[in-house]
A and B are shown apart, each in its own frame.
Chain A
Amino acid sequence: MTRWLPRTYLTLVYLLLYVPILVLVVFSFNDSRSGYAWGGLSLRWYEALFNNRAMVQAMWNSLWLALSAATVSTVIGALTALALHRYRFRGKQVLNGMLFVVMMSPEIVLAISLLGLFLLVGLQLGYVSLLLAHVTFCLPFVVITVMARLSGFDERLPEAARDLGASDFTMTRTVLIPVIMPALLAGWLLGFTLSLDDVVVSTFVGGPSYEILPLRIYSMVRVGLKPEVNALGTLLLVFSLVMLMLSQWILLRSKR
């Protein structure tokens, strides 16, 4: 009794987590048009997916947007974290708290306010508006990730580097950045993922000139679940797994 209870519980939890994903993967190889009946193995939905030029374009758009949003927010976020960590200035606490406000505020509020802002300044809705919006919501996550790493950072390391003849810039390049690299990487990946699957903000600030994947899927599903979406989902899953393994591999290497 005491033995099988925890096991059953654990099995249930994992089933709950993985069965939907498993169903999605299995049905992406299904030869049947219906999403609910098995019709044998086939790659036809993958074929259909890659023949759907709008879909492929949306995929590239999404990847490019996530890549640029993650990179921009990592650069700005890392600098912000460094400033917050290193200097004492007036309003530091307020600035710090404001990061959490952005993080905690409902996405819909952020979406509406960003849209309002873009319309006010007359910005054409498209790649630039999406990038600005995505950087906005990614930024706090990057700052907090990097700050966490910096809080455990030995303050003597920069001093040791300076003591041995490094200028402030050289010290940053050869000591500070390598040491906080895992946090930069983690922040970047977090930003990348957040950007890639964002729907709410993108719905508001996106424009017809730059269609991205989540919105494309969303509009596809509205007219009925196509098996193509399963294929797409599977590809995204594989992609995220590869990214995850890559980041783990880099982290492990940096520890060695």
Chain B
Amino acid sequence: MKQTLLSLSNLSKQFDGKTVLDSLDLEILDGEFITLLGPSGCGKTTLLRLMAGFEHPDDGSITLAGQNLTHTPPEHRPLNTVFQNYALFPHMSVFDNVAYGLKMEKRPKDEIRQRVDDALAMVQLEDFARRKPHQLSGGQQQRVAIARAVIKRPKMLLLDEPLSALDYKLRRTMQVELKRLQRELGITFVFVTHDQEEALSMSDRVVVLKDGRVQQLGTPREVYERPANLFTARFVGETNFFAGRVDAANGDDTITVDVFGLKRTFRKPDFQVFEGQPLHVLLRPEDIRVLAPDSDDGVAGKVVERNYKGSTLDSVIHLDDGTEVLASEFFDEDDPTFDYRLGEPVKVSWVDGWEWLLPEEDADAEAEASADA
């Protein structure tokens, strides 16, 4: 069982009367890779800045391994930050940038040299020690920023959207690199991003934030497959929302739900259900089956869009009642001609048990969730 390293309790922060963090509680475990995920303005960066000590909470406390850090200035916190635009010191060489933290600790010169060399070797920049930051590419600057931040062997590394300035391919490389570093160093990583794909692929746990509150905390798989609410479902990945109505609660842990006039049998959800209750039936595009128009199962509609994605074929299907359905299908090796024409009539179905049920939220919250996502 992993121990709690940092615990945030009841943290609140306002800027000019606008609430950015709303009595937020969060426990970060020792050695984990945790991601703060949310749309811009959700409070994720503010949360990170509170941990680093650049901002002070209006209320609440920050405790690191039993030590209260709430009012400790940043220079006395045993954690370091990798900034969004790297914030490398432009007037110093790569070596001096990386050495900065150790110089502040007044370490002996030989030790500094040795440790900086090691840190640069770790990020494969041994040959660039004498360069100035502006002579490096974006990816190299990123590596320098990481080396600079880990040289003091912090208990925790805070990363504020560190990959957002890199192009797609480099970002993928750095994602793998960061995971490798985290494993090698054994440091807790707190990673801020608005990119849900990045969050899912890198993290041990994901914190989904909105309006300064935790919407969901769980493993990437939990967040993706079992979203806690409509916001998370919409923000993380693409989802089809079908309106359903509880037809009957069966005795055997299943319920019968009326979707598009079809009676489907689903697993009983965690929340209370009653007969006649409206609910959302969530299905990821990859769970959707597109069938021939003459099949017995499914709901009729027609293909209005098709997108060839290489490994998958993504299509948008308009059901006869006006609902839009996203479907993402893998190519079938046995059927090389697998494709759709626009306007082609099809039927849409899914395997019962792959769905996820959520209760209706009040109208305001629902509208807001779809606007944010």
Contact = CB atoms under 8 A, between A and B. Distances in A.
Interface of A: 154, 156-157, 159-167, 170, 174-175, 178-179, 181, 254, 256
B240 interface: no
Given A156-B87, A163-B75, A165-B76, 13 more contacts: A154-B87, A160-B83, A161-B100, A162-B53, A162-B75, A163-B52, A163-B53, A163-B74, A164-B75, A165-B75, A165-B152, A174-B100, A179-B89
A236 B74 CA distance: 51
B351 interface: no
B75 A167 contact: yes
Given A161-B100, A256-B132, A156 B75 contact: no
B75 A160 contact: no
Given A159-B54, A160-B81, A256-B132, A165 B104 contact: yes
Ranked 10 nearest A-B pairs via Cβ: A165-B104, A156-B87, A164-B101, A160-B87, A162-B74, A178-B91, A156-B83, A163-B81, A165-B75, A164-B100
B182 interface: no
B85 to A, nearest CB: 7
Nearest to A178: B91
Contacts of A162: 53-54, 73-75
A32 B73 CA distance: 73
A133 to B, nearest CB: 35
B91 A179 contact: yes
Given A163-B80, A170-B104, A157 B89 contact: yes
Contacts of A181: 91
Given A157-B89, A159-B87, A175-B89, A164 B54 contact: no
Interface in B59-80: 73-76, 80
Contacts of B54: 159, 162-163
Interface residues of B, number: 25
A159 B90 CA distance: 14
B318 interface: no
B148 interface: yes
B74 A159 contact: yes
19 contacts: A156-B85, A157-B87, A157-B89, A160-B81, A162-B53, A162-B73, A162-B74, A162-B75, A163-B54, A164-B80, A164-B100, A165-B76, A165-B152, A174-B100, A178-B91, A179-B89, A181-B91, A254-B91, A256-B132
B91 A165 contact: no
Contacts of B80: 163-164
Contacts of B88: 160
A96 B132 CA distance: 35
Contacts of B104: 164-166, 170
A181 B91 CA distance: 10
Given A159-B54, A179-B90, A256-B132, A166 B75 contact: yes
B87 A164 contact: no
B270 interface: no
B121 to A, nearest CB: 20
B253 interface: no
Interface in B109-156: 132, 148-149, 152
Contacts of A179: 89-91
Nearest to A160: B87
Given A159-B54, A159-B74, A256-B132, A165 B87 contact: no
Contacts of A167: 75
B73 A164 contact: no
B132 A164 contact: no
A82 B101 CA distance: 25
B296 interface: no
Nearest to B101: A164
Contacts of B52: 159, 163
A187 to B, nearest CB: 18
